[in-house]
Structure 1
């Protein structure tokens, strides 16, 4: 196998990068197992049944997989032979899966390596003990994804054979990268960066996969992004498998005192690069990891969304991040960057990833380019004790994986009461919503959490409202100021659903219209469309879009909005871009509308920030 050396934007795990890794994407042997007989017949030891080929990481429902079969196939199998280099056989060897929907079992040379449940989150296993010296190694994966199990977290994947209403094609099996990684006998397993803007530094939690021998140390070197320079070079002794350390910058350094040259925000997405070395008692570097973080503080208070102490009006767009030929998987790594750039080109400062845990490389580009992200779970559609357990387990894995990304500013475990449809009548379901909120806050106290976005607010740090009002006049009536909002919450049910859960009152939580619009323009009359209003021309659609956005920007009570949606997806033709990512509307006019000031955030604050940023950039260029 050929080792791959890739920068952060191409590495499958941008936050935890080793120089040596082996890409396993590409052709694999493939077989359907509709009768579910593969386990009994020990397919993990056989070669004859893998009579088809699939291109990983594309799901068999997609065109780019080479299979393109959209019927119900709840069990599928993969097989790949790998010839290992001698150097890799001397090391421990870990196999990584970015995501397999929904249950996965992995064998190496006929022996089970790992199993995992959760279609949106990663897993890995040390397969070194399973390798056969001098032989080609056989990797076999069984994936099980029951299409009609409504208790299973599935997001927007439909339980019928063809997409319909707001539901899309299913994604079965491997849909994110697969790779091998040689690692040393004791290796770095996890990094957790917690920025501290008040003290101008970061907390670091470093976890090893095994207990190190006595005398081992960790060296951490932090480098600023703009200008490029070493900020901290710190070495400390290890006392066990976990290290906790505060790394604070020198406030006597004149360059560091210009804090905004290091802070992360949409206007200046500065990243701090990190090099972490694990050093043995002889001084030899045993393991080396590259990572990064953003120095920023997120707050939701006083009715505002605040980044680094500065009120920021959220101008988000709903991103389904489905592609026509590859479904949940991006068609290539470059498409992930293009998706972020497209949203920015329309004048949005953030995206709400809808019902999907996105590829970490997408989050990397949001970090790098300064795009805010609301991160959301893929929900089930009915409630049971089993459904609650599956979602809670997978959601905590997602939060743990993505904790370090500065772009993520809000966690959203539930959307529109999906999977908890009886909140008004069920104390059990209300307890589950509350538990998800408190669990999320327990593992990440640095970000706001919305327990249930859109309807029936039970508990949360932000109040998200989904309101597909047809005109700007209606939006002005409902949300012009706090008094109007209070009346709306008492008396109006947008989209026929109550906004307040039992015993819940509005206090000073920021209020975001987290879904609105959903306007469709279809050039030719067709029955195959879905949206919240169809328009005959781009000009008519843009006029209504402007009317809706202006109504929200005129409010003194709102902290932001999220328009539905960025791209057409399947039968949902309510995107600002087509399914092929072509604009439907005049980009300059659209960008100008989205960039207008909000009454909730005085324009003079924004003007001051822009001037400061221009001056800082000028000084940085002069220093470089």
Structure 2
């Protein structure tokens, strides 16, 4: 089955916050095969692949953009393509990188097994140097195994054969860029960057690879708008190094450029590793000097309270589903979000493409990064979730636009958290694990209701009437007590937990849909722009009028398959004037 569709190409460098020059993009046309009876490995498909179908990587077979467009679930799929090693890269280590592949990915090169990765949303890589032949074309074979199990982090991917509720067509296989990178034996593995605006300094945690000579030198050059701010060299005597540098300079009247939505200042930084006087690795990156903190029931950005006006953003496109079709498509979403007067997005049940986060860093759009949920609680689900969440927090730590981590949503995967101590302890463990890696950002456990320990109390309520909204939430002590349900069906806290002065936000509301029998929204559908705007303004103004609520998140940016409550259609055309939405968001907060 072949679908007629626009040809999409993902040719951009996939990891702009850790960029090298020596790389090859492996997106494009691959050979492809279904293996529903799982006979491929025993049958030696990895040794002698003869796949007759073609697929466009990085789009999954379920998408039109893949060239296949079949929505039926297939648990085992295979990919094959060839590649050559450029002459200039011969002798270097060849690293095969996947930005994301869902769910178990196995790799062979020239018939030789390389390894596997488990998880659908984290990036991963393999050193394939020992398996390649520099004198000929090399054969790359990939098998991806997926399931309909609710013990693996799925997010909004359905686990039945049909869409239902707010769950959509599954996402199977490679769905972000595949690429090759070439490194010397000695290289820079990663650099964790932690800003401190209170001291005007930035901390670097370097992780190096290889056997370093005594005269090795690690050089870091920091610039702003092309002008050098700082440059320093370290003599690495081990593979893990911590160093802090003060950024104060006369380039700015306050000595340091801060990052914020209204001025998303970014410092550029280049890392160079020299061995015996020779440059062996060079990486370009960037960072933002910003601080997220909590004080007196408010979220502070750079020590100043910030009222967050977020959009729930699920990141689906008509032809490509979870895979952004292009840089331009990601920029369109960001620009329209800003044009509507929102200052951030809650990236819902999806770990987004690195380039989306890059553009949020550049544009100044705040991001809540939310993990894809499991839907059962078991030892297997705990292990799957924990391992992948740990990878994700580490990989996305350096993005200044990410200001909040959201590991859990609406008790998904922890269905009895209200009373089950075991599930409660799991969320506590994830909270503290996240804090052990990143003490700088708030962590929300469990967005929507039934919180355990959480830096922000995030409540969901799809009330249609503004006055009812206000009356329900005006009494803070009552709404945050264990006496009543805040939205007529859920308590704000799990049993044994209580409010301790955290910021409170309405992080899902609205979801208004126009009359259309092809899908659904929350509450009654409306039949005109006037009716939409009246309801939207009344409920938004009601939230703003409640003094203790420090922000909101409207559902949602775009329609997604059968869920038609977006401010934009799935093709990104607006349903309502963007300026009229902005006018509501820009209305000043007033106490009633």
Q: Which bin holds the TM-score, normalised by the shorter protein?
A: over 0.9
Equivalent position SS for 1:104: strand
C-alpha distance in 1 between matches for 2:478 and 2:153: 36
2:24 paired residue among 22, 39, 46: 22
In the alignment, structure 1 residue 44 sits paired with structure 2 residue 46? yes
Would the aligned equivalents of 2:60 and 2:175 in 1 still touch at CA under 8 Å? yes
C-alpha distance in 1 between matches for 2:95 and 2:258: 35
CA deviation after TM superposition for structure 1 residue 84, in Å: 2.0
Would the aligned equivalents of 2:479 and 2:486 in 1 still touch at CA under 8 Å? no
1:543 paired residue among 512, 516, 534: 534
* Counterparts of residues 488-507 of structure 1 (less than 5 Å): 490-494=483-487, 496-507=489-500
Q: Across the two proteins, how many residue pairs are aligned to each other?
A: 582
Aligned twin of 1:521: 514
**1:169-195 Cα shifts (integer Å, max 9, x gaps):** 111000000000111111111110000
**Aligned pair in 2 of structure 1 residues 26, 9: CA closer, same or farther (>3 Å)?**
closer
Would the aligned equivalents of 1:372 and 1:409 in 2 still touch at CA under 8 Å? yes
In the alignment, structure 1 residue 112 sits paired with structure 2 residue 113? yes
**1:488-525 Cα shifts (integer Å, max 9, x gaps):** x6323415112111121112100010101111013xx4
2:559 paired residue among 540, 559, 568: 568
Greater CA drift, 204-213 or 262-271: 204-213
Gaps of 5+ in 1: 1-7, 601-624
C-alpha distance in 1 between matches for 2:344 and 2:540: 15
Aligned twin of 2:156: 156
2:323 paired residue among 314, 323, 329: 329
Equivalent position SS for 1:69: coil
Aligned twin of 2:386: 392
**Aligned pair in 2 of structure 1 residues 271, 80: CA closer, same or farther (>3 Å)?**
same
C-alpha distance in 2 between matches for 1:163 and 1:124: 33
C-alpha distance in 2 between matches for 1:161 and 1:9: 33
CA deviation after TM superposition for structure 1 residue 426, in Å: 1.6
* Counterparts of residues 407-418 of structure 1 (less than 5 Å): 407-418=401-412
Gaps of 5+ in 2: 1-9
In the alignment, structure 1 residue 365 sits paired with structure 2 residue 359? yes
**Aligned pair in 2 of structure 1 residues 371, 102: CA closer, same or farther (>3 Å)?**
same
Would the aligned equivalents of 1:211 and 1:240 in 2 still touch at CA under 8 Å? no
Aligned twin of 1:55: 56
Equivalent position SS for 2:268: strand
2:250 paired residue among 236, 251, 254: 254
Aligned twin of 1:268: 263
C-alpha distance in 2 between matches for 1:9 and 1:546: 41
Equivalent position SS for 1:335: helix
C-alpha distance in 1 between matches for 2:211 and 2:11: 31
CA deviation after TM superposition for structure 1 residue 481, in Å: 5.7
C-alpha distance in 2 between matches for 1:564 and 1:277: 44
CA deviation after TM superposition for structure 1 residue 484, in Å: 5.6
C-alpha distance in 2 between matches for 1:344 and 1:433: 33
CA deviation after TM superposition for structure 1 residue 289, in Å: 0.2
Aligned twin of 1:280: 275
Aligned twin of 1:217: 217
Aligned twin of 1:234: 232
Would the aligned equivalents of 1:106 and 1:140 in 2 still touch at CA under 8 Å? yes
Would the aligned equivalents of 1:9 and 1:365 in 2 still touch at CA under 8 Å? no
Aligned twin of 1:612: none
CA deviation after TM superposition for structure 1 residue 300, in Å: 1.9
**Aligned pair in 2 of structure 1 residues 9, 142: CA closer, same or farther (>3 Å)?**
closer
Equivalent position SS for 1:428: helix
**1:434-490 Cα shifts (integer Å, max 9, x gaps):** 111111011100100012111101011111001111211122112336346446x63
**Aligned pair in 2 of structure 1 residues 100, 486: CA closer, same or farther (>3 Å)?**
closer
Aligned twin of 1:3: none
Would the aligned equivalents of 2:480 and 2:492 in 1 still touch at CA under 8 Å? no
**Aligned pair in 2 of structure 1 residues 140, 205: CA closer, same or farther (>3 Å)?**
same
Aligned twin of 1:611: none
C-alpha distance in 2 between matches for 1:498 and 1:599: 27
Would the aligned equivalents of 2:31 and 2:55 in 1 still touch at CA under 8 Å? yes
Equivalent position SS for 2:65: coil
Would the aligned equivalents of 1:481 and 1:556 in 2 still touch at CA under 8 Å? no
CA deviation after TM superposition for structure 1 residue 132, in Å: 1.7
Q: If each structure's helix is expressed as a fraction of its own residues, which one has the higher value?
A: 1
CA deviation after TM superposition for structure 1 residue 255, in Å: 2.8
CA deviation after TM superposition for structure 1 residue 198, in Å: 1.0
1:344 paired residue among 338, 343, 348: 338
C-alpha distance in 1 between matches for 2:261 and 2:396: 18
In the alignment, structure 1 residue 444 sits paired with structure 2 residue 442? no
TM-score by length of 1: 0.91
TM-score by length of 2: 0.96
**1:518-561 Cα shifts (integer Å, max 9, x gaps):** 11013xx4153343331011210111000011111111101100
Equivalent position SS for 2:143: strand
C-alpha distance in 2 between matches for 1:493 and 1:382: 25
The two structures, once aligned, show a CA RMSD in angstroms of 1.6
Would the aligned equivalents of 1:552 and 1:558 in 2 still touch at CA under 8 Å? yes
